[in-house]
Chain A
Amino acid sequence: MNSLTIKNLKGRPAATAVLLVLSSLLCFAVFVGSIMVNSLSTGLSSLEKRLGADVMAVPYEAATKKKFEDMVIQGSIGYFYMDKEKYDEISSLDSVGDISAQLYLASTGSSCCSIPVQIIGFDPETDITVKPWIKKSGKKALEKYDLVVGSDLNAFVGDTLSFYGVDCRVAAKLDKTGTTYDTTVFTNIDTIKELIASSLDKGMNDFKDISPDNVVSCLLINAADGYSPEDVMNDINLHVKRVKAVQSKNMISGIASGITGVSGMIRTFIAAVWVLGAAILLLAFTMSINGRKKEFAVMRVMGASGKMLAGIVMKEALCITLAGGTAGCLLGALVIFPFGGAAEKALGLPFLLPDAGRTVLCLCLTILLSVLSGTAAAAVSAWRMSRIDAGLTLRSDN
C-alpha cells in the first residue's frame, strides 16, 4: 500500500510537482514569517534586559541632544560626563534603590574595528545590568585590562586590542543580543578610567578639563521598595540639577510599538498566507482527486472501502505536504539565517534569531500545519467521493 502511494505520486509527476511546490511555498512563507516574529520579540526582550535598570540618569546635555537614547537604541557612539557628586546626590534620594555608575568612551579606529566603537566601563561592585550578560558568556570577573567584546566585533578571546595606546586583552565575547551591545566593548571601571586618562593625555578626548576619577557618564537605577520607577524619575528630575532621568520603559516604548506593529503585520501576513494557502491546497487536492475519480471508482469496484480510498489519498497528501513542507522550511532557513542581519538593518529594530530549540519548534509546527491542512483537504475530497455510489462515479470520463 505504501508502494501504491509512491507509485501513484510517481505516476503523476506534474500533479505531484505542483502540489509539492505549493506546499513548500506555503511553508516557506509561514516559516520565515514566524522566525521573523520570534526574532523581533526576542530582540525586544533582549533590549529590555540590556537596559536592565528602571531608570537611567545622564547629564542634561546628553538627554536633550537625544544622544543617549540614540546610543542605547541605534548604536550611535558618544560619551559625556557629569560630576561624581551627582552619584552621591542621587544615591541619597529615598526612592533610589540599587544604583550603579558607568563610564563611557568611544575608541578611535582600532585593529578590531574599521569604525570607532563604544566602550562602556561598569563598576563590578554595584553593576546590575552588564554582568548578567557577561556571566552568560562564561567569564566570571573582569581583571584590569580585560575586555568583553560584543558579538559583531571582529575580535576574539585572546586578542590584544589597543585603545589610546593602552593594550587590553579580550577576555570574553558576548553572545549575540540583537542590541547595540553587539558592537560595544566592556571593561571594568578601573580600566576605562585609564583609557580616559590616556585619551586626555593624547588630547584626543572632546572633554579637556575632567578627571576620570571624578566623573561618571550614566547612572543605572532601580527603584527602592515602595517606589515606582516614575517616582525615581520625578525625584531626580526635580531635585538634582543638570541631570536628566529617563525611564527605560519609555525609552523603548517607540521600539516596542514598532515591533508590535511589524509583528502584527507579519502575523496578519502569515494568517493570510495560511488561509489562502490552505484554500489553494484544498482546491489543488480536490482537483487532483477529482481528476482521478474514475480510477478511485475502479478501486471501489475491486473492493476498496471508502476508508481505504481516504487512506490512499491522505497518505499521498501526507507525503507531499511533508516533503514540500520540509523543503520550504529548509529553503526558508537558508534565506532567513544568512540574511537575518539584512532584515535587522531594513527593519531598524532589535532582531535576535531564536535558538536552535525554538527554531526546530517553529519548523515542526510549520510542517505540522502544512501536513494537517493537506491531509484534511484530501480527507474532505475522499469523504465527498465516497458518499457517491461507485456505480455513478464509474460513468465519469476520467
Chain B
Amino acid sequence: MSLTAENITKDYIRAGKGTNRFTAVKETDFTLEEGCLSVLMGRSGSGKTTLLNMLSGLLCPTSGRVLSDGDDIYSLDDKKLSKLRNERFGVIPQGQSAVHSLTVMENILLPFALYREKPDEEYAKQLMERLDIAQLSQVKPSELSGGEIRRMAIARAAVRKPRVLFADEPTGDLDDENTREVFDFLKEQAKNGTAVLIVTHENDAKAYADKLYRMNGGVPEKA
C-alpha cells in the first residue's frame, strides 16, 4: 500500500492585522511507501506537523489530495475516514497524548475498544516489553514520566499493526538510549512492511532513514 499526497497546500488564518493568510505547507507532492522509513526534519514552525497531520487524515488540506491506494481520503465521510485511520494508520502525536482515566494497558488497547473489537492483548504485551513499559501496564498516566507516556503512545500507535505509522517527534522527551530504542523499533516496523514517517529534530535519525527530507519554505526537499 502506498500513501501519496498530490499538490497539497495548507493555509492557516492567523489572528492579527495585515495579510493574515499564512501558508504552512505549499504545493507539496509526497509519497510514503511500504517498508520504507522516511525522516522529515526542519526548523521549528516549518510545517512538519502540518504535513504529517494532512497525510494521516487528521487535517484537511486547503487544496490538493491525499490518496490511499488511489482513493482520496478526504472525500470519504467522517465514519469511513475514521475507520481507515483506525485500521491502517498509526499516529504518535506530537506532545502528550494520554487518555487520563485509563491505565497504560487500557490506553494501548483503546484502538480496539473504540470499535468494540477483541483486543490483541498478546501483541500489546509484546510491544510493552519491547518498549520497556511492561511493568507499568496497570498504572494511570498521571503517575508516569513524560518519556513513559511517549512510549505508551508508540505502543498504542503500533498495536493494530497499521500499514502506515506516523511519528511526530517520538523521541522528544527521551534520553539517548531510549531514543535509539525507539528508532530501532520504528526501523523494525518498516522492515516488517510498514510505511513509516518520522518527524524529528534528532540528528541520529538520519542513520535510520531510507529517505530523508528537510522542510524548507513549506516544501519538503529531499536531502
Binary per-residue interface labels of chain B (96-117) against chain A in the complex, 1 for a CB within 8 Å, 0 otherwise? 1111111000100011011110
- Residues on A with C-beta less than 8 A from B110 are 299, 302
23 of the cross-chain contacts (CB-CB < 8 Å) are A1-B113, A1-B114, A7-B102, A8-B101, A12-B101, A294-B96, A294-B97, A295-B98, A299-B99, A300-B82, A300-B85, A301-B85, A302-B111, A302-B114, A303-B84, A303-B85, A303-B111, A306-B78, A308-B114, A391-B50, A391-B53, A391-B59, A394-B53
Kindly state whether residue A305 has any CB partner on chain B within 8 Å. Answer: yes
Kindly state whether residue B151 has any CB partner on chain A within 8 Å. Answer: no
Contact check, B101 vs A301: say whether CB atoms are below 8 A apart.
Answer: no
- Residues on A with C-beta less than 8 A from B156 are 302
A-B pairs with the 4 shortest C-beta distances? Answer: A303-B86, A11-B101, A391-B59, A391-B53
Determine the residue in chain A with the shortest Cβ distance to B54. A391
Kindly state whether residue A386 has any CB partner on chain B within 8 Å. Answer: yes
- Residues on A with C-beta less than 8 A from B113 are 1, 4
- Residues on B with C-beta less than 8 A from A390 are 53, 58-59
Kindly state whether residue B91 has any CB partner on chain A within 8 Å. Answer: yes
Contact check: which of A1, A10, A304 meets B82 at CB < 8 Å? Answer: A304
How far apart sit A308 and B79, CA to CA, in the bound complex (Å)?
A: 9
Kindly state whether residue A225 has any CB partner on chain B within 8 Å. Answer: no
Contact check, B102 vs A301: say whether CB atoms are below 8 A apart.
Answer: no
Kindly state whether residue B42 has any CB partner on chain A within 8 Å. Answer: no
Determine the residue in chain B with the shortest Cβ distance to A12. B101
How far apart sit A306 and B111, CA to CA, in the bound complex (Å)?
A: 15
Give the distance to chain A from B100, nearest Cβ to Cβ, in Å. Answer: 6
Interface residues, chain B, with chain A CB atoms under 8 Å away: 49-50, 53-54, 56, 58-60, 78-79, 81-87, 89, 91, 93-102, 106, 110-111, 113-116, 140, 156
Determine the residue in chain A with the shortest Cβ distance to B77. A305
Give the distance to chain B from A396, nearest Cβ to Cβ, in Å. Answer: 10
Contact check, A394 vs B58: say whether CB atoms are below 8 A apart.
Answer: yes
How far apart sit A245 and B63, CA to CA, in the bound complex (Å)?
A: 89
Within 8 A of B (CB), among A292-321: 294-295, 298-308
Contact check, B93 vs A298: say whether CB atoms are below 8 A apart.
Answer: yes
Determine the residue in chain B with the shortest Cβ distance to A393. B58
Contact check, B93 vs A303: say whether CB atoms are below 8 A apart.
Answer: no
Contact check, B78 vs A301: say whether CB atoms are below 8 A apart.
Answer: no
How far apart sit A294 and B86, CA to CA, in the bound complex (Å)?
A: 18
Give the distance to chain B from A11, nearest Cβ to Cβ, in Å. Answer: 2
Contact check, A303 vs B114: say whether CB atoms are below 8 A apart.
Answer: yes
- Residues on A with C-beta less than 8 A from B95 are 394
Determine the residue in chain A with the shortest Cβ distance to B50. A391
Contact check, B86 vs A389: say whether CB atoms are below 8 A apart.
Answer: no
Contact check, A302 vs B86: say whether CB atoms are below 8 A apart.
Answer: yes
Kindly state whether residue A392 has any CB partner on chain B within 8 Å. Answer: yes
Determine the residue in chain B with the shortest Cβ distance to A301. B91
Contact check, A307 vs B101: say whether CB atoms are below 8 A apart.
Answer: no
- Residues on A with C-beta less than 8 A from B98 are 295, 298
How far apart sit A392 and B95, CA to CA, in the bound complex (Å)?
A: 13
How far apart sit A201 and B113, CA to CA, in the bound complex (Å)?
A: 90
Give the distance to chain A from B202, nearest Cβ to Cβ, in Å. Answer: 21
